[in-house]
């Protein structure tokens, strides 16, 4: 029976652990003390590097390595953008952290700031996270009052500020450079790389961007040591991961596991198995941007390399599970509409390609599909993939190509039989 | 175009936060959301006033405003209902809830009730996928929606 | 390193080794190697965007295709720009670009010069797989001149970036997001004098010219390179004609003057040339005027000239040639006036500056102190004195703005009003309206005393820090009686700086003084009017007492000049003192006016001789930066003769011999005589022109400095009379309501309002409201205008557009006044 390995969620169940006093009573801010009093900034970076901590926002990039890219001799200022723009469909772990365990995230932010020499932390929060923003604001206030933020933290001479900055409804702003553009007051368009944010980020200053969960893991790495963390998970995916499981399962929710555990165990042991006893048809391993995997591959190890080998991606850790009664064409249409409406519009292939695919889906669902539309969709995927300005274009391709490859017969069923999907309502762009 | 006087509370809010950023324009997106609380949607005259406060042009303000879903360029109802219609909520039956809300309020998705009380729109993932269907009414999140839960939520909005 | 000390890198493109300068983008490196990479959103003026994805190339060791427009060539890079993979990628990107593009080439103005057409032909496929509904949005006007067809827009955002990065107007922005993105002006209200350049850089037919709309197909147009005649910058432009009509004016390629940009006035105000009101000469005063044949007109002119000359002497003939004529016109004019007609009373130019007070120093400064445009753009400090750069020399203002981006160079303004909020300099200082001389005195004292506090401290500090300085001085100094003293004051400031440098043993470079003389070829006029100082001994140009416009007009009033022959000049509107002109025109027995368009002065003529317009001009201009450039005549159909032709026929009628009507021959004659031009012939003048080196040797410079030091400047601080407490500031606007604007279609939208601007506090002190109709009067005259409050107007001054046919400011000015004081009261 799969057990959880709670690190970020270690205080789950402890009432009010969003409060500073409760957090401290449960070991909170010990890591910060250790870092600023006993370790040099370079040592902190080395520790995080040695731990093998991978970014938890979707890209899985080694966090310590990212921190080390910031030029040490830069006169500053340097910034940390904590990416709390959780928008990947299926993902709801960061919101949990913001609302229930904000201090562990803030502590991680401050430790990161200390390690890299950052003078201002911006927590870029989705506009829709009204509760989350409020919790972080309150927690930051508490941290300031206690001297964990602001000038001369714990007498170390190190100072850093924290500001909660709101987004206003744009999925693309979760992409690190688009987040920076939004932070600077602009439209959420991604920036050209190089230069990379570590050398030229927000306001053209060195900027580290880390996901909420990544930062919330840092205090435990400092507390328990890099070796402890590196001992968890697999060879190439060290550590743990919060998994957000949703869809047709009995107990959807957030769980935290060692990387590498069998996905099926997450579904059955932690999430209570398929809802209503129905059969598993397929699943998105890491959010709507990751290609669908069939039930046959459900035992894949839940880690970056295994899921990649199976033909998908771990992504943000959003495990979306659907059963055998699911209309996958309609489901693919829902997701394609998401990409079309959320595309920032900067580059031509994504802007035009996503809308094209959506129009084809809408036509198929209206009974007007043609047999060549299936291969046309695949062709659009080939043309869009790896050619857009940012990974958004690649994300849009995932569901289309994988559902066609796995469930082509359902597409053809719609087309051959001029089947019409009975819409219960029609979404309208606001 | 009539000149608009920015609400004093709003101006105070902005000026308090400006020192936390290297440029004034950085505060634009948060200001747009905050300004909506006092002035409603972002009209051209509001854009001009915000632009003057943040050292940028009204065109820049409107262009940025038009990029973000939560920023309204046209008048909206007193309470904006945002129901997620993305994949996990779809798998959990958000379409039925959407149809229910349409019927209950007498407007189609995208519309505003005649009395101006509610604007109902369907939106993308609200990061509450484990408890779908979900919706925001104003700033409050309602999860595990059923028709009864919808009734309760709408009743709370006054 | 190459021979010039540039770092070089070597890379491989399609198997070929290429060596390029470090920092070169792959697109340029590939072009150097002979491979053209398709691009839509990239443009040499703009920062790379990487949005259209047309320029994707394969770079070894990089997993994904990369955009060549944003990748800098590195040593050892291995790049493939031609392969099946790249071919497929380009086809795919073009398919996306064409997806929502309407197939309306047959009705699109851009057809034949469209990047999308060209690239589709080269890289695209011939069929469309798109069967859905295209994104449709109705057309809109982004400005009165920019027609936006949204259906065609491929969202390359070049137009948005041009207005952000180049002109800084932020006129255009993107509205909404994703596939619903579209370019918007968000209700307008942003001024941009260069918006027309977005027509050129738009790679498709989305932004098109409203003035050129549906007037011709690109391949039917005959292109003729020439020089614009709308201001002294002298941008290189191309006239595009079709069936003998001028269809449009666009920037010419490869110009060091304007580098491919032109202002909207040069671009759009050309239509007058196609529909000239004058068809034949006109004889008789207004009221009894009739069209006559050229034969009769020339006979009449010859008769009158002969009569006056016989009865009163040759000096009773007064001849004036205004701006916009070519150097060849001016030389011919001089010779005809002086040698053939025998009069000393001729003048070339707009009568701006009277050098007679100190010709050595002033002429030396006008000729030798100025710099080329390149030198100005490289100066550490550019100081605009009494000159609103963007109104007077717009494209120079644009080039300065570009040159100063991301450098430590500075632009400082010194003028009689606060920054207007359009094209504001980085730093600004104010002198009291009308009192520049007093301010100059204070600045000189501050430099000499080494004091860096006080009102001018910052300016003096900037002057001290700058290695090279370019002072551009303009209409607020030049349009006054004391213009010559303003120039002397600037010379004294320059000498004070040189003294300070010498005292401190500080090595520094040139301080140039560059007059902004307003009109096209005003520099050429200046040269030709003072040719006797510039020719070699062989020329044998007879000396003459130096004439001024004022002098000629006064002689007319006094009855010494009996016949006035005006060429290409409208002194009723452009001379400082209208009543003097009125009296002069009244006094003469006969007035001949030779011009292109009707204006206030042609209305008074006894004989109007119409000539062909600018598109028919052939010859040379000298621009603001002393660059000599050729004008070429287009094939515009005009039955009217050129100025040279009219003068020549007149000479023949007078039996005074004849004169060449070939600009080339006339030029070659001047070149023989003027050392600065003697290395050129008309045919060998390069297409991009040639900067004339009027150089002063060290000895000459020393003598001039001595002269300047000797000059005692009268630096009276003018005191306001109690009954006329406001100073009149006449402001030059680019889009003034001149005949060229009035007779060109669709220029109403660009013409500024006829208002008098005052500081709002002065308005309320007078008890007058914004918009109130007022009488503005001086001791000499009055005009009526609506008032408008503007915070940037200095208290105690009134700013009025100096070219308002409905309320000419020169009614208020007397040629005797140093400054013009006025008062304002409500109109009845």
Question: Could you tell me which residue, C590 or C366, shows the higher pLDDT?
Answer: C590
| Contact (CB<8Å) B110/A428 | yes
| Contact (CB<8Å) B123/A331 | no
Residue-level pLDDT at C606: 97
Q: Determine, yes or no, domain membership for C116.
A: yes
Residue range C623-645, pLDDT digits in tens? 998 999 999 999 999 999 999 99
| Contact (CB<8Å) A352/C179 | yes
Examine the domain organization and report whether A265 and A185 are in the same domain: no
Q: Determine, yes or no, domain membership for A428.
A: no
Q: Determine, yes or no, domain membership for A12.
A: no
Q: Determine, yes or no, domain membership for C57.
A: yes
Q: Are C169 and C195 in contact (CB under 8 A)?
A: yes
**At C452, which CATH number?**
3.40.228.10
Examine the domain organization and report whether A193 and A258 are in the same domain: no
Examine the domain organization and report whether A318 and A352 are in the same domain: no
Examine the domain organization and report whether A31 and A136 are in the same domain: yes
Boundary residue ending a domain (A285, A307, A323): A323
Angle of the A392-416 helix axis to the A328-342 helix axis, nearest 10 = 140
Examine the domain organization and report whether A55 and A118 are in the same domain: yes
Give the 3-state secondary structure of residue C56. strand
Examine the domain organization and report whether C328 and C453 are in the same domain: no
Q: Is C186 on the interface with A (CB under 8 A)?
A: no
**At A178, which CATH number?**
3.40.50.11540
For the residues C352-370, what does the mean pLDDT come to? 77
Whole-angstrom Cα distance, residue C184 to residue B63? 8
| Contact (CB<8Å) B108/A168 | no
Q: Determine, yes or no, domain membership for C469.
A: yes
Count CB neighbours of C117 within 10 A: 18
Between residues 80 and 139 of chain C, which touch chain A (CB distance below 8 Å)? 89, 92-93, 95-97, 99-100, 129-130, 132-133, 135
Residue C308 has pLDDT above 70, yes or no: yes
**Residue C547: band (very low, low, confident or very high) from pLDDT cuts 50, 70, 90:** confident
**Residue C676: band (very low, low, confident or very high) from pLDDT cuts 50, 70, 90:** confident
Average pLDDT score, chain C = 93
% of residues, chain C, pLDDT over 90: 80
Shortest Cα–Cα distance, B40 to chain A (Å): 15
| Contact (CB<8Å) A130/B63 | no
Nearest to C382 by CA among C332, C427, C348: C427
Q: Is A349 on the interface with C (CB under 8 A)?
A: yes
Residue C377 has pLDDT above 70, yes or no: yes
* SS3 readout for chain B: CCCCCCCHHHHHHHHHHHHHCCCHHHHHHHHHHHHHHHHCCCCHHHHHHHHHHCCCCHHHHHHHHCCCCCCCCCCCCCEEEEEECCHHHHHCCHHHHHHHHHHHHCCCCCCECCCCCEEEEEECCCCCHHHCCCEEECCEEECCCCHHHHHHHHHHCC
Residue-level pLDDT at C363: 77
Which residue on chain B is closest to A183 by alpha carbon? Answer: B26
Whole-angstrom Cα distance, residue B150 to residue A264? 34
| Contact (CB<8Å) A345/C177 | yes
Q: What is the mean pLDDT of each run of 10 residues along chain B (158 residues)?
A: 84 97 98 96 96 96 98 95 97 97 96 96 97 96 97 94
Residue-level pLDDT at C406: 85
Looking at the DSSP assignment, which residues form a beta bridge with residue C543? none
Which residue on chain B is closest to A271 by alpha carbon? Answer: B130
**Residue C719: band (very low, low, confident or very high) from pLDDT cuts 50, 70, 90:** confident
Examine the domain organization and report whether C107 and C164 are in the same domain: yes
**At C756, which CATH number?**
2.40.40.20
Shortest Cα–Cα distance, A244 to chain B (Å): 7
Examine the domain organization and report whether C128 and C182 are in the same domain: yes
Which residue on chain B is closest to A125 by alpha carbon? Answer: B30
**At A367, which CATH number?**
1.20.1440.230
Boundary residue ending a domain (A230, A253, A279): A230
Residue-level pLDDT at C649: 94
Residue-level pLDDT at C544: 62
Examine the domain organization and report whether C643 and C757 are in the same domain: no
| Contact (CB<8Å) B25/A185 | yes
Select from A345, A363, A382 the Cβ nearest to the Cβ of C178. A345
Boundary residue ending a domain (C54, C72, C97): C97
Residue C233 has pLDDT above 70, yes or no: yes
Number of domains into which chain C is organized: 5
Q: Which residues of C401-421 are buried (b: 16+ CB within 10 A; e: fewer)?
A: bbbbeeeebbbbbbbbbbbbe
**Residue C673: band (very low, low, confident or very high) from pLDDT cuts 50, 70, 90:** confident
Examine the domain organization and report whether A319 and A347 are in the same domain: no
Residue C351 has pLDDT above 70, yes or no: no
Examine the domain organization and report whether A225 and A258 are in the same domain: no
Q: Which helix (H) or strand (E) holds C511?
A: strand C511-515
Examine the domain organization and report whether C599 and C458 are in the same domain: no
Examine the domain organization and report whether A102 and A192 are in the same domain: yes
Residue C816 has pLDDT above 90, yes or no: no
Examine the domain organization and report whether A388 and A308 are in the same domain: no
Residue C53 has pLDDT above 70, yes or no: yes
Residue-level pLDDT at C352: 67
**pLDDT-wise least confident of A253-262, C154-163, C385-394, C673-682:** C673-682
A352 contacts on C by Cβ (under 8 Å): 96-97, 99-100, 179
Residue C311 has pLDDT above 80, yes or no: yes
| Contact (CB<8Å) C92/A383 | yes
Residue-level pLDDT at C527: 87
Examine the domain organization and report whether A308 and A342 are in the same domain: no
A340 contacts on C by Cβ (under 8 Å): 178-179
Q: Which domain holds residue C762?
A: 726-826
Residue-level pLDDT at C751: 87
Interface with A, mutate which of C69, C128, C177, C203 (most A CBs under 10 A): C177
Examine the domain organization and report whether A296 and A147 are in the same domain: no
Residue-level pLDDT at C66: 97
Shortest Cα–Cα distance, A84 to chain B (Å): 11
Whole-angstrom Cα distance, residue A226 to residue A44? 10
Residue range A53-76, pLDDT digits in tens? 999 999 999 999 999 999 999 998
Q: Determine, yes or no, domain membership for C203.
A: yes
Interface with C, mutate which of B58, B63, B73 (most C CBs under 10 A): B63
Examine the domain organization and report whether C509 and C389 are in the same domain: yes
**At A302, which CATH number?**
3.10.20.600
Number of H helices, E strands in chain C: 26, 34
Phi, psi (5° rounding) for residue C106?
Answer: -60, -25
Q: Is A166 on the interface with B (CB under 8 A)?
A: yes
| Contact (CB<8Å) B60/C175 | no
**Residue C360: band (very low, low, confident or very high) from pLDDT cuts 50, 70, 90:** confident
Residue C560 has pLDDT above 80, yes or no: yes
Examine the domain organization and report whether C108 and C68 are in the same domain: no
Between residues 158 and 177 of chain C, which touch chain B (CB distance below 8 Å)? 170-177
Q: Are C517 and C478 in contact (CB under 8 A)?
A: yes
Count CB neighbours of C339 within 10 A: 13
Nearest to A152 by CA among A161, A162, A142, A141: A161
| Contact (CB<8Å) C186/B63 | yes
Q: Which helix (H) or strand (E) holds A256?
A: strand A253-258
% of residues, chain C, pLDDT over 70: 98
% of residues, chain A, pLDDT over 90: 99
C174: which 2 tokens? 């993107």
Number of domains into which chain A is organized: 3
Residue-level pLDDT at B1: 55
Residue-level pLDDT at B109: 95
The top-level CATH class assigned to B8-67 is mainly alpha
| Contact (CB<8Å) A338/B90 | no
Burial class (CB in 10 A: 0-12, 13-18, 19+), C250: buried
Whole-angstrom Cα distance, residue C596 to residue C738? 12
Q: Which domain holds residue A333?
A: 328-416
Q: Are C349 and C526 in contact (CB under 8 A)?
A: yes
Examine the domain organization and report whether C615 and C501 are in the same domain: no
**Residue C542: band (very low, low, confident or very high) from pLDDT cuts 50, 70, 90:** low
Select from C89, C97, C100 the Cβ nearest to the Cβ of A387. C89
Whole-angstrom Cα distance, residue A168 to residue A83? 14
Q: Are C299 and C204 in contact (CB under 8 A)?
A: no
Boundary residue ending a domain (A271, A290, A323): A323
Alpha helices, H only, A56-118 = 63-68, 93-100, 102-116
Examine the domain organization and report whether C84 and C107 are in the same domain: no
Examine the domain organization and report whether C648 and C679 are in the same domain: yes
For the residues C239-268, what does the mean pLDDT come to? 96
Whole-angstrom Cα distance, residue A155 to residue C463? 48
Q: Is A317 on the interface with B (CB under 8 A)?
A: no
Residue-level pLDDT at C506: 87
Domain locations in chain B as residue ranges: 8-67, 79-157
| Contact (CB<8Å) A89/B124 | yes
Examine the domain organization and report whether A296 and A157 are in the same domain: no
| Contact (CB<8Å) B66/C187 | no
Q: Starting from the edge strand earliest in sequence, which strands make up the sheet with C427-430, in order?
A: C427-430, C410-415, C381-385, C469-473, C511-515
Which residue on chain A is closest to C90 by alpha carbon? Answer: A383
Q: Is C130 on the interface with B (CB under 8 A)?
A: no
Residue C120 has pLDDT above 60, yes or no: yes
Examine the domain organization and report whether C61 and C28 are in the same domain: yes
Which residue on chain C is closest to A382 by alpha carbon? Answer: C92
Whole-angstrom Cα distance, residue C73 to residue C167? 29
Examine the domain organization and report whether C509 and C411 are in the same domain: yes
C177 contacts on B by Cβ (under 8 Å): 66-67
For the residues A175-189, what does the mean pLDDT come to? 98
**Residue C717: band (very low, low, confident or very high) from pLDDT cuts 50, 70, 90:** confident
Whole-angstrom Cα distance, residue C171 to residue C576? 36
Q: Determine, yes or no, domain membership for A3.
A: no
**Residue C37: band (very low, low, confident or very high) from pLDDT cuts 50, 70, 90:** very high
Burial class (CB in 10 A: 0-12, 13-18, 19+), A22: middle
Q: Is B58 on the interface with C (CB under 8 A)?
A: yes
Residue-level pLDDT at C189: 77
Pick the CATH number of B79-157 from 3.40.50.1820, 2.40.70.10, 3.40.50.720, 3.40.30.10: 3.40.30.10
**Residue C481: band (very low, low, confident or very high) from pLDDT cuts 50, 70, 90:** confident
C129 contacts on A by Cβ (under 8 Å): 376, 379
């Amino acid at each position: 029976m799969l057990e959880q390995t709670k690190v970020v969620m270690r205080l789950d169940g402890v009432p009010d652990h969003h409060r500073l006093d409760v957090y401290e009573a449960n070991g909170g801010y010990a890591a910060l003390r250790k870092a600023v009093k006993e370790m040099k900034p370079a040592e902190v970076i080395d520790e995080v590097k040695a731990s093998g901590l991978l970014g938890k926002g979707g890209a899985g990039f080694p966090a310590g390595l990212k921190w080390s890219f910031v030029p040490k001799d830069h006169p500053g200022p340097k910034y940390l953008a904590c990416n709390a723009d959780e928008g990947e469909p299926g993902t709801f772990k960061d919101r949990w952290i913001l609302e229930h365990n904000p201090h562990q995230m803030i502590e991680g932010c401050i430790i990161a700031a200390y390690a890299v020499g950052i003078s201002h932390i911006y927590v870029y929060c989705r506009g829709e996270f009204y509760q989350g923003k409020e919790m972080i604001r309150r927690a930051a206030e508490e941290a300031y009052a206690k001297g964990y933020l602001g000038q001369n933290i714990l007498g170390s001479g190190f100072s850093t500020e924290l500001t909660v900055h709101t987004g206003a409804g744009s999925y693309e702003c979760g992409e690190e450079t688009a987040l920076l553009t939004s932070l600077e007051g602009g439209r959420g368009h991604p920036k050209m790389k190089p230069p990379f944010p570590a050398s030229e980020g927000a306001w053209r200053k060195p900027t580290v961007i880390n996901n909420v969960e990544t930062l919330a893991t840092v205090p435990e790495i400092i507390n328990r040591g890099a070796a402890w963390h590196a001992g968890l998970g697999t060879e190439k995916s060290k550590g743990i991961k919060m998994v957000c499981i949703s869809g047709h399962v009995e107990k959807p929710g957030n769980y935290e596991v060692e990387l590498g555990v069998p996905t099926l165990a997450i579904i059955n042991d932690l999430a209570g198995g398929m809802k209503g006893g129905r059969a598993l048809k397929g699943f998105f391993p890491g959010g709507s941007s990751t290609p669908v995997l069939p039930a046959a591959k459900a035992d894949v190890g839940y880690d970056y390399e295994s899921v990649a080998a199976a033909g998908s991606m771990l992504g943000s850790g959003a495990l979306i599970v659907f059963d055998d009664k699911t209309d996958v064409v309609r489901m693919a249409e829902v997701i394609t509409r998401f990409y079309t409406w959320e595309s920032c519009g900067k580059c031509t292939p994504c802007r035009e390609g996503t809308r094209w695919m959506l129009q084809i889906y809408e036509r198929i669902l209206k009974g007007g599909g043609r047999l060549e539309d299936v291969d046309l969709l695949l062709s659009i995927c080939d043309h869009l993939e790896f050619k857009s300005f940012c990974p958004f274009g690649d994300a849009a391709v995932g569901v289309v190509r994988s559902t066609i490859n796995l469930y082509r017969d359902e597409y053809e069923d719609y087309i051959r039989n001029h089947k019409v999907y009975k819409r219960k309502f029609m979404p309208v762009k606001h | 175009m009539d000149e608009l006087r920015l609400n004093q509370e709003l101006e105070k809010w902005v000026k308090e936060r400006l020192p936390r950023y290297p440029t004034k324009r950085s505060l634009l997106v948060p200001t747009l959301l905050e300004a909506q609380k006092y002035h409603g949607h972002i009209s051209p005259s509001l854009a001009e006033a915000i632009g003057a406060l943040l050292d940028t042009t009204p065109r820049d303000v409107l262009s940025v405003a038009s990029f973000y879903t939560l920023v309204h360029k046209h008048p909206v109802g007193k309470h904006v209902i945002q129901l997620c219609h993305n994949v996990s909520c779809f798998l959990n039956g958000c379409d039925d809830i959407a149809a229910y809300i349409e019927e209950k309020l007498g407007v189609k998705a995208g519309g505003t009730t005649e009395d101006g009380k509610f604007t109902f729109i369907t939106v993308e993932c609200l990061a509450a996928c484990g408890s779908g269907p979900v919706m925001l009414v104003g700033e409050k999140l309602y999860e595990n929606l059923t028709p009864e839960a919808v009734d309760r939520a709408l009743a709370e909005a006054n | 390193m190459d021979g010039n000390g540039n770092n070089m890198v070597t890379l491989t493109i399609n198997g070929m080794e290429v060596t390029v300068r470090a920092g070169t983008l792959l697109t340029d490196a590939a072009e150097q190697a002979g491979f053209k990479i398709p691009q839509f959103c990239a443009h040499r003026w703009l920062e790379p965007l990487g949005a259209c994805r047309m320029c994707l190339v394969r770079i070894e060791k990089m997993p994904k295709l990369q955009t060549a427009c944003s990748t800098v060539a590195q040593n050892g890079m291995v790049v493939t720009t031609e392969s099946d993979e790249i071919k497929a990628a380009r086809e795919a990107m073009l398919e996306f670009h064409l997806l929502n593009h309407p197939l309306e080439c047959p009705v699109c103005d851009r057809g034949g010069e469209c990047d999308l057409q060209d690239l589709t032909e080269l890289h695209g496929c011939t069929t469309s797989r798109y069967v859905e509904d295209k994104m449709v949005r109705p057309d809109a006007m982004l400005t009165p001149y920019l027609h936006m067809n949204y259906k065609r827009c491929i969202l390359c955002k070049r137009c948005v970036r041009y207005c952000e990065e180049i002109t800084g107007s932020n006129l255009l922005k993107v509205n909404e997001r994703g596939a619903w993105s579209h370019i918007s002006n968000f209700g307008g209200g942003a001024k941009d004098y260069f918006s027309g350049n977005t027509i050129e850089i738009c790679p498709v037919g989305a932004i098109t010219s409203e003035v050129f709309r549906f007037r011709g197909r690109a391949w039917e147009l005959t292109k003729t390179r020439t020089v614009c005649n709308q201001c002294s910058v002298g941008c290189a432009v191309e006239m595009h004609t079709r069936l003998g009509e001028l269809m449009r004016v666009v920037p010419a390629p490869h110009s060091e003057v304007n580098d491919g940009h032109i202002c909207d006035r040069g671009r759009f105000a050309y239509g007058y040339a196609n529909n000239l009101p004058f068809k034949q000469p006109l004889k008789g005063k207004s009221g009894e005027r009739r069209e006559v044949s050229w034969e009769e007109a020339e006979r009449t002119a010859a008769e009158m000239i002969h009569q006056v000359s016989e009865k009163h002497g040759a000096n009773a003939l007064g001849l004036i040639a205004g701006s916009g004529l070519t150097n060849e016109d001016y030389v011919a004019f001089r010779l005809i006036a002086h040698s053939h007609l025998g009069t000393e009373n001729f003048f070339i130019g707009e009568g701006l500056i009277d050098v007679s007070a100190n010709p050595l120093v002033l002429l030396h400064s006008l000729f030798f102190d100025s710099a080329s445009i390149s030198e100005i753009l490289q100066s550490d400090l550019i100081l605009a004195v009494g000159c609103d750069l963007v109104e007077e020399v717009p494209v120079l203002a644009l080039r300065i703005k570009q040159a100063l981006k991301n450098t430590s160079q500075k632009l400082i303004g010194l003028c009689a009003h606060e920054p207007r909020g359009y094209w504001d300099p980085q730093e600004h200082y104010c002198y009291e309206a009308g009192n520049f001389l007093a301010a100059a005195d204070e600045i000189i004292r501050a430099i000499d005393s080494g004091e860096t506090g006080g009102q001018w401290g910052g300016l003096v500090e900037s002057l001290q820090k700058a290695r090279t300085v370019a002072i551009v001085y303009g209409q607020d100094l030049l349009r006054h009686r004391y213009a010559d003293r303003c120039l002397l004051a600037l010379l004294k400031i320059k000498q004070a700086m040189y003294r300070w440098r010498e005292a401190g043993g500080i090595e520094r470079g040139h301080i140039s003084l560059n007059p902004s003389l307003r009109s096209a070829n005003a520099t050429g006029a200046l040269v030709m009017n003072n040719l006797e100082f510039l020719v070699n001994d062989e020329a044998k140009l007879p000396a003459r007492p130096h004439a001024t416009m004022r002098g000629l007009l006064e002689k007319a009033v006094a009855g010494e000049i009996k016949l006035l022959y005006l060429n290409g000049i409208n002194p009723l509107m452009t001379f400082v003192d209208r009543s003097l002109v009125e009296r002069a025109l009244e006094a003469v027995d006969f007035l001949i006016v030779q011009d292109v368009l009707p204006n206030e002065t042609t209305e008074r003529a006894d004989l109007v001789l119409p000539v062909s317009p600018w598109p028919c001009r052939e010859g040379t201009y000298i621009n603001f930066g002393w660059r000599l450039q050729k004008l070429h005549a287009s094939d515009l159909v005009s039955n009217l003769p050129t100025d040279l032709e009219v003068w020549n026929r007149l000479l023949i009628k007078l039996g005074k011999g004849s004169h060449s009507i070939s600009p080339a021959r006339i030029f070659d004659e001047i070149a023989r005589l003027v050392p600065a031009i003697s290395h050129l012939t008309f045919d060998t003048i390069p297409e991009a022109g040639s900067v004339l080196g009027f150089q002063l040797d060290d000895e000459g410079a020393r003598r001039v400095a001595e002269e300047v030091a000797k000059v005692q400047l009268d630096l009276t601080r003018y005191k306001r009379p109690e009954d006329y407490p406001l100073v009149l500031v006449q402001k030059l606007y680019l889009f003034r309501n001149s005949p060229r604007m009035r007779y060109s279609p669709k220029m109403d939208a660009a013409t500024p309002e006829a208002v008098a601007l005052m500081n709002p506090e002065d308005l309320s002190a007078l008890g007058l409201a914004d918009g109130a109709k007022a009488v503005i009067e001086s001791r000499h005259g009055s005009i009526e205008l609506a008032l408008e409050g503007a915070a940037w107007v200095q208290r105690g001054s009134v700013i009025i557009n100096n070219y308002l046919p409905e309320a000419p400011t020169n009614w208020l000015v007397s040629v005797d006044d140093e400054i013009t004081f006025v008062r304002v009261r409500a109109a009845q």
